[in-house]
């Protein structure tokens, strides 16, 4: 595979209806009011094709249940969005849609808005991997990540469900190394789920770890994060604790990019990005840029999150362009590029409207 | 405290030279050094990686211990340490998840494993030809570079199907690393090129021709070529597989098969968790080596606390070498004896009485210490009073003559045996028979032999506790040097950290084991049930301290216990049933690790009695059908 590069980092609080346009806008809607806050600002003029992937409703949820009702309420306020269930083929449909759009545009460029505020980590990772495949076939993807900070909610007092599985969030984010004997170093984004990070770090048994603590205008989150991760924080060197501003993903990206560049020389870095989804998305982007870096998650984590989270007034839109560069001399065969093109062209974008559908 | 506490010593990421700096040999190492295949079985932190790494060429050269030369002379092989870990496993799994048939997944997994082994072998062969003068034994297994080294390297590269740019081991290493990259790219390309129906093993072999290489043949051809060239045709090589449970199952099967054959040239030493795919029925019986084969199995856990004591003592002395305050001091001097060290020996442990002959003053001192416990409990616990009466003692008027612990006294043995139980029961039992909600009583876990027992002889745990001693806890003018309250704090931290970690143990695909029963919740129910019997039930002189995994408990509970066993949270009272660990835990008896004793207020002792797990969890006299229903809804 080629080396993924990024350029054109931009960041602002809100989308600009006169300026921002996207070939495709994607969000994820659950019963959490925050999940639609950013999407409501994405008009049909801004993005002719808008997809809201839906949280699955458990079969045990009665028709009048809170979560079912909450999700319906959220959907009602999103006009013009196509609502789809995320399935195994959805990632490929998104890729095929954007590939078509790029071909039709004539300049091999597409733009995509992805609101990750309430999006499950595995879903966000799948979509970002998809965009990376587009870059592999020389399509430049202008990506805007949207994130809306939730109003403070206290951590659940109920017993935490156990970690179900600790594993890479996607098989293309499992990392790849030339030196299996090099030590594992973990970069942990702390969330406020008690013990989750500690269990995952213990499972990986890294030689060293660094902790990233989210700071935001909702200051009580910060206190909770410290309380819920007290054991891990106490066992970590001060020099390995970093506070970051949740609403400044561009800075997170740049800082961690340079950190990772230094680490990959003689270690195997693994991201464990708990906490804010925007931080997770930044870690995935870095994982896609550095194939030796893995991005892990804990499955079952979403169940532990309190639902019905209200949006705060704070949000951020982080844009960057993804494109591939050849570091070495181009290989004789471009068979991988061809393989991905083949993969994209034989795909149908199924339920997603084609660009010409308007 | 915390992560650094238990990560205080993890040899996995240490260079062999660093591991050798402080390594102290002990009986398990001695057993591993023989020229035979070995299986090294133990839970996390039990020292598997350290032991294997110590057999590597680099570690043996660097080792400075007084006995190092003896071992160097005795060791009849060149050790090649092959690393593996869970991150590497997931990386390899990531190659193969996209709708590939099993034979294709196997082939890719084996190819990645093969490169890993060949990289380790390449490093070791290069080290045989070059000395690091700073080592303690730089010439150990050093051989002059053969004249035809170019030929040897060319032959090895050819048999491994590598394109090299020069005739050197460095070039082979580079080519192997390039192969790893190629494997990643090619497998991705293959999966994007073909739709699932077109992904066949035949197609994959055409796509990636070197997939058909056999790792064992590659190793064999290389060491033969190398040994021929250096003139030591009969040299022996030991391939040291760490964390073997994470390597592809097909490789596990093949290596276990290899252990059945005696080999002059290549032997395998394999570190394994006690439970995992390698011990399950997934492996057919042909793959299982039996005890009769030429395999030495070494267990890295201790059923009895007395067995762990001497190892802990050596480890303590070694770790304190660099401590300016405690260097040269015995652990008994630093921590004092356990409060219960005069207690009767545990059934099944050393049968020699610990009180072979208490002299008059010692008896008096013992009685002075224990009499109040007996008196108080007799006052508030009718079942204990009844027990005393049955022994011919008067619970209303206990005196020193009645609780004389001397072996020659009428109830001496019984009195000694129950003293610890009496103290626990008296501490935690209220007059109404309920448990008292109080701060944990930690004194029973202090004193050197108690600390050693809590550590279970697990080096990472013991080193963690020793490292958590602050310098202000050390006062050489007091006896013991570390006060009981400071020791209590150290033990409480260790137990709490272990508990926190068990609470977050993953329940899916954990060393190949999945369950719906959270590990710590299960252990917690067991610990509380055992505590209830000890404190709230009728007084028993030998209450159950173990549980038997009976046929009535659900498979999910069994699997949760298998994970607990791999983490060292439970310890088997019974011998393993498989040469490579435990094929099943059902039908066997276990106790909770002593590290969990402070969490559940349990004494550090085994009574030799166990209770059926179904009875502990769900009560007695339940039908299997009822139990099945209850277990389904329990977690």
d(CA B114, CA B535): 56
Nearest to A232 by CA among A269, A267, A264, A200: A200
The mean per-residue pLDDT over the stretch A154-158 comes to 75
Torsion sign across C-alpha atoms A122, A125, A127, A133: negative
pLDDT in tens, A171-182: 999 999 888 889
Residue B7 has pLDDT above 70, yes or no: no
pLDDT on residue A326: 73
Of B270, B303, B336, which residue constitutes the final position of a domain? B303
Q: What pLDDT does residue A55 have?
A: 77
End-to-end CA distance of chain B: 30
Residue A307, pLDDT > 70, answer: no
What is the structure's pLDDT at B630?
A: 60
ipTM of the complex: 0.87
**Who contacts A348 (Cβ-Cβ below 8 Å, separation ≥6)?**
A93, A96
CA–CA separation, B44 and B244 (whole Å):
13
Distance CA A140, CA A263 (A): 28
Comparing alpha-carbon positions, the chain A residue that sits nearest to B90 is A174
Whether residue B488 sits in one domain with residue B405: yes
pLDDT over threshold 90, residue A149 = yes
Show the tokens assigned to A346: 């034989």
C-alpha closest to that of A351 among A92, A68, A43: A92
**Cβ B228 vs Cβ B68: under 8 Å:** no
Residues B218 and B471: their CA atoms lie apart, in Å, by 53
Lowest mean pLDDT among A52-61, B6-15, B81-90, B584-593: B6-15
Torsional sign, CA B314, B319, B325, B331: negative
Contact list, B505 vs chain A (CB under 8 Å):
162-163, 199, 203
How far is the alpha carbon of A342 from chain B, nearest alpha carbon, in Å? 7
CA-derived radius of gyration, chain A: 20
How distant, in Å, are the alpha carbons of A352, B130, B189, B391, B434 from that of B542? 70, 62, 65, 15, 20
Nearest-by-Cβ selection for A294 from B91, B119, B507: B91
Distance from the Cα of residue A162 to its chain's centroid: 23
Q: Do residues B377 and B464 share a domain?
A: yes
Listed by number, the residues of chain B in 477-536 with a beta carbon closer than 8 Å to a beta carbon of chain A are: 497, 500-501, 503-509, 518-521
Higher pLDDT, A242 or B349: A242
Percentage of residues in chain A having pLDDT higher than 90 = 58
Stretch among A20-24, B143-147, B320-324 having the lowest mean pLDDT = B320-324
B293 plus B315 within the same structural domain: no
Tell me, what's the pLDDT at A24? 96
Mean pLDDT confidence for A130-140: 93
Share of chain B above pLDDT 70, in %: 90
C-alpha to C-alpha distances, A328 to A2, A6, B4, B441, nearest whole angstrom: 9, 18, 41, 66
Considering only the beta carbons, identify the residue of B3, B119, B192 that sits closest to A202: B3
The answer to whether residues A35 and A28 touch, using CB atoms and an 8 Å cutoff, is yes
Structure tokens at A224: 């909770």
CA–CA distance, B93 with B157 (Å, rounded to integer)? 27
Q: With CB atoms and an 8 Å threshold, state whether A180 touches B83.
A: yes
Residues B141 and B280 in one domain: yes
Which of these three, B453, B482, B499, is where a domain ends? B499
How many structural domains compose chain B? Answer: 3
Query: CB within 8 A of A127, min separation 6: which ones?
Result: A26, A91, A94, A114
Co-location of B276 and B153 in the same domain: yes
Mean pLDDT, rounded, for B245-269: 86
Closest residue on chain A to B191 (Cα): A339
- Predicted local distance difference test score (pLDDT) of residue A260: 97
- Co-location of B114 and B224 in the same domain: yes
Q: Is A62 a residue whose pLDDT tops 80?
A: no
**Are B320 and B431 in contact, with CB atoms under 8 Å apart?**
no
Top residue of B46, B86, B88, B90 to mutate, by most chain A CBs within 10 Å, is: B90
Q: How far is CA A32 from CA A36, A37, A67, A127, B512, in A?
A: 8, 10, 9, 21, 35
pLDDT (0 to 100) of residue B344: 38
Same domain, B240 and B320: no
CB-CB neighbors (< 8 A) of B521 in chain A = 162
Q: Strands (DSSP E) along B104-253, which ranges?
A: 237-241
Q: Two tokens at B612?
A: 């059926």
| pLDDT attached to residue A64 | 61
Strands A311-325 and A140-150: antiparallel
Predicted local confidence at residue B8, as pLDDT: 47
> Do B277 and B367 have their domain in common?
no
Answer yes or no: is pLDDT of B587 > 80: yes
d(CA A40, CA B294): 71
**Is residue B233 over pLDDT 50?**
yes
Top residue of A162, A211, A234, A327 to mutate, by most chain B CBs within 10 Å, is A162
Q: How confident is the model at residue A150 (pLDDT cuts 50, 70, 90)?
A: very high
Best B4, B10, B13 residue to mutate vs chain A (most A CBs within 10 Å): B13
pLDDT of residue A30: 86
| A222: closest CA of chain B, how far (Å) | 21
Q: Looking at per-residue confidence, does A186 or A57 come out higher?
A: A186
Tokens coding A296 = 């892990």
pLDDT of residue B5 exceeding 50, the answer is: no
Whether residues B176 and B43 fall in one domain: yes
How far is the alpha carbon of B240 from chain A, nearest alpha carbon, in Å? 13
Does residue B182 have a pLDDT over 80?
Answer: yes
Residue B491: band (very low, low, confident or very high) from pLDDT cuts 50, 70, 90 = very high
As a whole number of Å, the CA-based R_g of chain B is 28
Per-residue model confidence (pLDDT) at position B368: 87
Q: In this structure, are B435 and B582 located in the same domain?
A: no
Whether the per-residue pLDDT at B588 is higher than 80: the answer is yes
Report residue B481 as tokens: 């040097």
pLDDT the model gives residue A330: 55
Q: How many residue pairs from chains A and B have C-beta atoms closer than 8 A?
A: 150
**Lowest-pLDDT range, A156-160, A261-265, B91-95?**
A156-160
Q: Which of A205-214, A252-261, B399-408 has the lowest mean pLDDT?
A: B399-408
The Cα A119–Cα A35 span in angstroms is: 8
CA distance A6 to chain B (A): 21
Question: What's the confidence (pLDDT) of residue B348?
Answer: 33
Assign A188 a pLDDT band (cuts: 50, 70, 90). very high
The answer on pLDDT for B364 being more than 50 is: yes
The model's pLDDT over B428-448, given as tens digits with 9 standing for 90+, comes to 999 998 988 888 899 999 999
Q: How far is A174 from chain B (nearest CA, A)?
A: 5
User: In whole numbers, what is the pLDDT of chain B averaged over residues?
Assistant: 88
Using left for φ > 0, alpha for ψ between -120 and 50, and beta otherwise, residue B307 falls in alpha
The helix (H) or strand (E) run that includes residue B370 is helix B360-380
The 3-class secondary structure across chain A, one letter per residue, is CCEEEEEEEEEECCCCCCCCCCCEEEEEECCCCHHHHCHHHCCCCCCCCEEEEECCCCCCCCCCCHHHHHHHHHHHCCCCCEEEECCCCHHHHHHHHHHHHHHHHCCCEEEEEEECCCCCHHHHHHHHHHHHHHHHCCCEEEEEEEEEEECCCCCCCCCCCCCCEEEECCHHHCCCCCCCCCCEEEEEECCCCCCHHHHHHHHHCCCEEEEEEEECCCHHHHHHHHHHCHHHHHCCCHHHEEEEECCCHHHHHHHHHHHHHHHCCCCEEEEEECCCHHHHHHHHHHHHHCCCCEEEEEECHHHHCCCCCCEEEEEEEEEEEEEEECCCCCCCCCHHHHHHHHHHHCCCCCCCCCHHHC
Looking at B285, B303, B321, which one is the last position of a domain? B303
- Omega within 30 of 0 (cis) for the link into B238: no
Of chain B, the percentage scoring pLDDT greater than 90 comes to: 62
pLDDT, position A119: 93
Interface test with A, best of B172, B179, B242, B504 (most A CBs within 10 A): B504
Between B161 and A327, the higher pLDDT residue: B161
In this structure, the answer to whether residues B77 and B132 fall within a common structural domain is yes
**B293, pLDDT greater than 60:** yes
- pTM for the predicted model, two decimal places: 0.88
Residue B258 near residue B287 (C-beta atoms within 8 A): no
* Tokens representing residue B175 in the block: 């080519």
Is B279 in the same domain as B321?
Answer: no
Q: Are B507 and A335 inside 8 Å of each other by CB?
A: no
Structural domain of residue B589, as residue ranges?
505-634
Least confident segment among A252-256, B116-120, B132-136 = B132-136
């Amino acid at each position: 595979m080629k080396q993924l590069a990024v350029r054109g980092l931009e960041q602002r609080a809100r989308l600009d209806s006169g300026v921002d346009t996207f070939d495709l806008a994607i969000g994820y809607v659950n019963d959490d009011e925050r999940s639609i806050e950013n999407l409501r600002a994405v008009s049909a003029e801004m993005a002719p094709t808008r997809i809201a992937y839906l949280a699955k409703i458990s079969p045990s949820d009665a028709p009048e249940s809170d979560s079912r009702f909450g999700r319906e309420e959220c959907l009602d306020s999103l006009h013009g969005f196509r609502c789809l269930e995320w399935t195994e083929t959805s990632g490929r449909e998104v890729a095929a849609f954007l590939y078509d759009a790029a071909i039709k545009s004539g300049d091999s460029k597409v733009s995509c808005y992805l609101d990750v505020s309430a999006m499950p980590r595995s879903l966000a990772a799948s979509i970002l991997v998809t965009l990376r495949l587009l870059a592999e076939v020389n399509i430049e993807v202008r990506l805007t990540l949207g994130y809306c900070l939730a109003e403070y909610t206290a951590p659940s007092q109920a017993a935490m469900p156990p970690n179900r599985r600790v594993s890479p969030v996607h098989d293309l984010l499992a990392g790849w190394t030339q030196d299996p004997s090099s030590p594992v170093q973990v970069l942990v984004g702390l969330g406020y789920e008690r013990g989750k990070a500690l269990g995952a770090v213990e499972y990986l048994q890294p030689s060293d770890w660094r902790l990233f603590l989210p700071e935001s205008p909702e200051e009580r989150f910060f206190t909770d994060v410290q309380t819920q991760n007290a054991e891990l924080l106490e066992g970590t060197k001060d020099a390995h604790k970093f506070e970051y501003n949740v609403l400044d993903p561009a800075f997170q990206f740049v800082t961690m990019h340079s950190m990772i560049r230094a680490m990959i020389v003689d270690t195997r870095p693994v991201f464990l990005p708990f906490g804010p989804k925007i931080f997770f998305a930044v870690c995935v982007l870095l994982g896609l840029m550095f194939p030796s870096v893995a991005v892990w998650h804990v499955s079952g984590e979403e169940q532990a999150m309190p639902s019905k989270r209200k949006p705060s007034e704070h949000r951020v839109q982080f844009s960057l362009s993804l494109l591939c560069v050849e570091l070495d001399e181009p290989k004789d065969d471009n068979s991988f590029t061809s393989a991905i093109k083949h993969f994209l062209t034989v795909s149908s974008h199924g339920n997603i409207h084609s660009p010409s559908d308007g | 405290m915390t992560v650094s506490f238990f990560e205080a010593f993890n040899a996995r990421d240490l260079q062999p030279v660093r591991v050798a700096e402080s390594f102290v040999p002990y009986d398990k190492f001695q057993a591993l050094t023989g020229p035979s295949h070995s299986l090294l079985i133990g839970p996390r932190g039990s020292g598997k990686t350290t032991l294997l790494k110590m057999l590597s060429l680099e570690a043996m050269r660097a080792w400075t211990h007084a006995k190092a030369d003896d071992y160097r002379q005795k060791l009849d092989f060149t050790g090649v340490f092959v690393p593996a870990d869970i991150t590497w496993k997931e990386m390899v799994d990531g190659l193969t998840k996209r709708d590939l048939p099993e034979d294709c997944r196997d082939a890719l997994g084996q190819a990645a494993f093969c490169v890993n082994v060949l990289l380790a072998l390449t490093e070791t062969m290069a080290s045989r030809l070059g000395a690091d003068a700073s080592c303690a034994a730089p010439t150990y297994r050093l051989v002059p570079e053969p004249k035809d080294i170019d030929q040897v390297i060319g032959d090895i590269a050819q048999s491994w199907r590598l394109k090299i740019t020069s005739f050197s081991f460095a070039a082979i290493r580079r080519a192997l690393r390039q192969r790893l990259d190629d494997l990643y790219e090619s497998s991705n390309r293959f999966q994007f090129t073909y739709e699932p129906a077109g992904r066949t093993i035949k197609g994959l072999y055409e796509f990636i021709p070197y997939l058909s290489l056999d790792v064992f043949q590659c190793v064999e051809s290389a060491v033969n070529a190398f040994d021929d060239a250096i003139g030591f045709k009969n040299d022996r090589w030991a391939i040291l597989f760490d964390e073997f449970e994470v390597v592809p199952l097909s490789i596990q099967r093949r290596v276990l098969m290899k252990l059945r054959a005696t080999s002059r040239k290549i032997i395998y030493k394999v570190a394994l968790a006690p439970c995992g795919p390698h011990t399950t029925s997934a492996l057919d019986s042909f793959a299982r080596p039996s005890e009769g084969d030429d395999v030495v199995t070494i267990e890295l856990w201790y059923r009895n606390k007395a067995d762990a004591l001497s190892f802990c003592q050596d480890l303590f002395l070694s770790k304190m070498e660099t401590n300016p305050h405690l260097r040269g001091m015995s652990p008994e001097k630093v921590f004092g004896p356990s409060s219960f060290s005069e207690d009767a020996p545990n059934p099944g442990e050393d049968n020699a009485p610990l009180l072979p002959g208490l002299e008059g003053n010692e008896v008096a001192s013992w009685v002075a210490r224990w009499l109040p416990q007996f008196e108080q409990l007799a006052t508030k616990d009718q079942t204990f009073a009844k027990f005393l009466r049955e022994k011919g003692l008067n619970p209303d008027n206990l005196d020193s003559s009645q609780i004389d612990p001397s072996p020659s006294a009428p109830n001496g043995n019984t009195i000694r045996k129950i003293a610890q139980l009496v103290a626990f029961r008296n501490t935690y039992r209220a007059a109404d028979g309920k448990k008292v909600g109080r701060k944990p009583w930690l004194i029973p876990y202090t004193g050197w032999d108690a600390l050693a027992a809590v550590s279970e002889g697990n080096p990472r745990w013991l080193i963690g506790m020793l490292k958590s001693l602050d310098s202000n806890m050390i006062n050489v003018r007091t006896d013991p040097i570390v006060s009981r309250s400071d020791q209590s704090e150290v033990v409480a931290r260790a137990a709490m950290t272990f508990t926190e970690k068990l609470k977050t143990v993953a329940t899916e695909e954990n060393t190949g084991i999945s369950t719906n029963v959270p590990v710590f919740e299960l252990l917690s129910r067991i610990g509380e049930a055992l505590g209830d019997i000890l404190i709230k039930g009728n007084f028993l002189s030998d209450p159950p301290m173990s549980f038997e995994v009976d046929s009535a408990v659900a498979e999910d509970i069994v699997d949760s216990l298998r994970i607990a066993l791999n983490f060292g949270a439970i310890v088997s009272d019974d011998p393993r049933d498989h040469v490579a660990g435990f094929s099943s835990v059902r039908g066997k008896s276990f106790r909770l690790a002593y590290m969990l004793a402070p969490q559940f207020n349990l004494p550090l002792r085994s009574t030799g009695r166990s209770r059926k797990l179904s009875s502990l969890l769900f009560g007695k006299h339940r039908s299997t059908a009822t139990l099945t229903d209850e277990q389904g809804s329990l977690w």
